[in-house]
Amino acid sequence: MNSYPPLKSLLVFDAAMRTHSFSMAAAELCVTPGAVGQQIRKLEDWLGVALFVREVRQVLPTEEARAYWQRIQPALAEIADASRKVRDSRSMAVWLSMPPSFAAKWFTSRMAGLLTRYPGLELHLNASAQLVDFERDAIDLAIRYFDGKAPQLDATLLYTDQARVYCTPAYAASLALREADDLRRATLLVTTMLPFWERWFSGFSNLAPMAVAALPRIHFDQALMAIEAAKQGQGAVMTSPLLVAAELADGLLCEPFGHRLPLANAYYVVHPARQPLRHAAALVKAWLVEAAADGELATLAGPRTSDR
């Protein structure tokens, strides 16, 4: 007897166990439910045990099926992973994940430069606030905003970060914002990313904590929304200079104060430390580091003030 079971039957069996249904397994494999049943019977004949109990409207895996699947499923996953890596080893497709704010405010304006340098590159961009699970998600590289401490990751610094205060020139002029204490007349736009107004006031103003706590605030779970509110003259926003570079250049926002609050978190490009990067992903990583270095001096230049 051949020491290997029918491999096609193994794949069908795996699909049936994962989906808990012959019909759903058939849909996944693009075959008929009858073809799934035939492959399952073929595997049962080879093994000499029943793998499913056939009932009128459902099929139920036997204890032998569950035990067998637990043994073979990791091997099937390793075969799929190894095959994918060989297939993709010379591919120019790269899967890149980053926070929505970074994607909108930094990456999209530079993306054409990346594709011009590498015309054959096939870029798959995932803009999400969710942390990437490299073991589960098909992602080559991720931009992550954190402290850079993750032993399982190779983390390369792109940008250090600072918390600064911005508003429109008209808003700064209407409230006569010349020093930190003048923000007692303002509305604070607060983001979950940089909720550090108390630290900022403690370091740069003479306002009492109770007076700071009493200031009107609007809270946002997305930095993009808070920046847009500031552009509409709704208040003063605390955010990263990286995310408002275009607005500052266009004069839509200004920085009425020169105070900069250093932050522990920064922007890093990360990938699993123990897995070598494919050639295409290594090219994208090198480009990200280069583009960040080229833009850092302009982005983190001195404070922009309103014209008054």
- Taken in order 166, 172, 178, 179, is the CA torsion positive or negative? negative
Residue with tokens 């020169």: 258
Residue with tokens 């003048």: 182
Q: Which residue has the higher pLDDT, 174 or 84?
A: 174
Residues paired with residue 261 on neighbouring β-strands, in sequence order: 163
User: What's the confidence (pLDDT) of residue 306?
Assistant: 39
Confidence of residue 301 (pLDDT cuts 50, 70, 90): very low
What is the C-alpha end-to-end distance of the chain, expressed in Å?
90
Q: List pLDDT tens digits, range 277-293.
A: 889 999 999 999 999 99
Q: Please say if the pLDDT value at position 2 is more than 50.
A: yes
What is the Rg, in whole angstroms, of the alpha carbon atoms belonging to the chain?
28
User: What's the confidence (pLDDT) of residue 305?
Assistant: 41
User: What's the confidence (pLDDT) of residue 180?
Assistant: 96
CB 254 within 8 A of CB 248: yes
In the chain, where does the domain assigned CATH 1.10.10.10 lie? 7-88
Residue type, 72: I
Q: List the CATH code of the domain at 93-157+265-294.
A: 3.40.190.10
Q: List pLDDT tens digits, range 80-102.
A: 777 776 666 567 899 999 999 99
Over residues 206-222, the mean pLDDT reads 95
Q: Please say if the pLDDT value at position 296 is more than 60.
A: no
Q: List the CATH code of the domain at 7-88.
A: 1.10.10.10
In the chain, where does the domain assigned CATH 3.40.190.10 lie? 93-157+265-294, 162-262
Rounded Cα–Cα distance for residues 239 and 12 (Å): 52
Residue 78 burial class via C-beta count within 10 angstroms: exposed 0-12, middle 13-18, buried 19 and up: exposed
Q: List pLDDT tens digits, range 242-262.
A: 999 999 999 999 999 989 999
Helix residue spans in the chain (DSSP H): 7-19, 22-29, 33-47, 63-88, 100-102, 111-117, 169-174, 197-204, 209-213, 223-231, 245-249, 279-299
Q: Please say if the pLDDT value at position 136 is more than 80.
A: no
CB 276 within 8 A of CB 186: no
Class of 162-262 per CATH?
A: alpha beta
Neighbour-count burial for 12-44, b at 16+ CB within 10 Å, e otherwise: bbbbbbeeebbeebbeebeeeeeebbebbebbb
